[in-house]
Amino acid sequence: MPRFQRPTGTLDILPEEQSYWEHVRAHAIRLARRAGFERIDVPVFEATDLFARGIGAATDVVEKEMYTFNDKGGNSLTLRPEFTAGVVRAYIEHGMHVRPQPVKLYSIGPVFRYDRPQAGRYRQFHQLNLEILGTQDPAADLEIMLLVWDLYAGLGFRGLSFQLNSTGCPRCRPAYVELLKSYYHRHVDQICDDCRRRLETNPLRVLDCKAAQCQPVIEAAPPIGDHLCDECADHFAQLREYLDLLGKPYTLNHRLVRGLDYYTKTVFEVWAAGIGAQAAVCGGG
Ligand SMILES: [Zn+2]
Ligand SMILES: [Zn+2]
Read off the pLDDT of residues 70-89 as tens digits, 9 standing for 90 and up: 999 999 999 999 999 999 99
Judge whether residue 277 has pLDDT over 60.
no
Helices (H), 155-229: 173-186, 193-201, 215-219
Q: How far is the CA of 35 from the centre of ligand 1 (A)?
A: 28
Judge whether residue 13 has pLDDT over 90.
yes
Q: How far is the CA of 198 from the centre of ligand 2 (A)?
A: 9
Q: How far is the CA of 246 from the centre of ligand 1 (A)?
A: 25
Q: How far is the CA of 17 from the centre of ligand 1 (A)?
A: 46
Distance CA 167, CA 223 (A): 10
Q: How far is the CA of 199 from the centre of ligand 2 (A)?
A: 10
Please state, in angstroms and as integers, the Cα–Cα distance from residue 266 to each residue in 11, 106, 183, 232, 259, following that order. Answer: 32, 19, 23, 9, 14
Judge contact between 282 and 256, C-beta under 8 A.
Answer: no
What is the three-class DSSP state of 45?
strand
> Closest ligand to 234 CA?
1
Structural domains in the chain, CATH included, are 1-135 (3.30.930.10), 173-225 (no CATH)
- Residue 284's pLDDT is 72
pLDDT: which is higher, 60 or 99: 99
Judge contact between 111 and 125, C-beta under 8 A.
Answer: yes
Judge whether residue 175 has pLDDT over 90.
yes
pLDDT band at 54 (very low <50, low <70, confident <90, very high): confident
> Closest ligand to 211 CA?
2
pLDDT band at 259 (very low <50, low <70, confident <90, very high): low
**Within 13 Å of residue 228, how many CA atoms lie on the same side as its CB?**
21
User: What is the average pLDDT across 175-185?
Assistant: 94
Distance CA 28, CA 127 (A): 11
Q: How far is the CA of 264 from the centre of ligand 1 (A)?
A: 8
- Residue 55's pLDDT is 82
- Residue 179's pLDDT is 95
- Residue 59's pLDDT is 78
> Closest ligand to 198 CA?
2
The percentage of residues in the chain with a pLDDT greater than 70, rounded to a whole number, is 95
Judge whether residue 56 has pLDDT over 90.
no
Judge whether residue 228 has pLDDT over 90.
yes
Lowest mean pLDDT, pick from 63-72, 183-192, 201-210: 201-210
Distance CA 274, CA 73 (A): 50
- Residue 281's pLDDT is 66
Q: How far is the CA of 207 from the centre of ligand 2 (A)?
A: 8
Q: How far is the CA of 138 from the centre of ligand 1 (A)?
A: 13
Q: How far is the CA of 198 from the centre of ligand 1 (A)?
A: 22
Helices (H), 68-189: 84-93, 138-154, 173-186
Judge whether residue 207 has pLDDT over 60.
yes
> Closest ligand to 209 CA?
2
> Closest ligand to 229 CA?
1
Q: How far is the CA of 233 from the centre of ligand 2 (A)?
A: 28
Judge whether residue 58 has pLDDT over 90.
no
Judge whether residue 125 has pLDDT over 80.
yes
Q: How far is the CA of 15 from the centre of ligand 1 (A)?
A: 49
Distance CA 244, CA 250 (A): 9
Cis peptide before 170 (omega within 30 of 0): no
Please count the other Cβ atoms lying within 10 Å of the Cβ belonging to residue 217: 21
pLDDT: which is higher, 189 or 274: 189
> Closest ligand to 173 CA?
1
Judge whether residue 144 has pLDDT over 80.
yes
The percentage of residues in the chain with a pLDDT greater than 90, rounded to a whole number, is 76
Q: How far is the CA of 210 from the centre of ligand 2 (A)?
A: 6
What average pLDDT is seen over the chain? 91
> Closest ligand to 170 CA?
1
Q: What share of the chain is helix, strand, coil (3-state, %, to 5)?
A: 45, 20, 40
Judge whether residue 278 has pLDDT over 60.
no
Judge contact between 176 and 232, C-beta under 8 A.
Answer: no
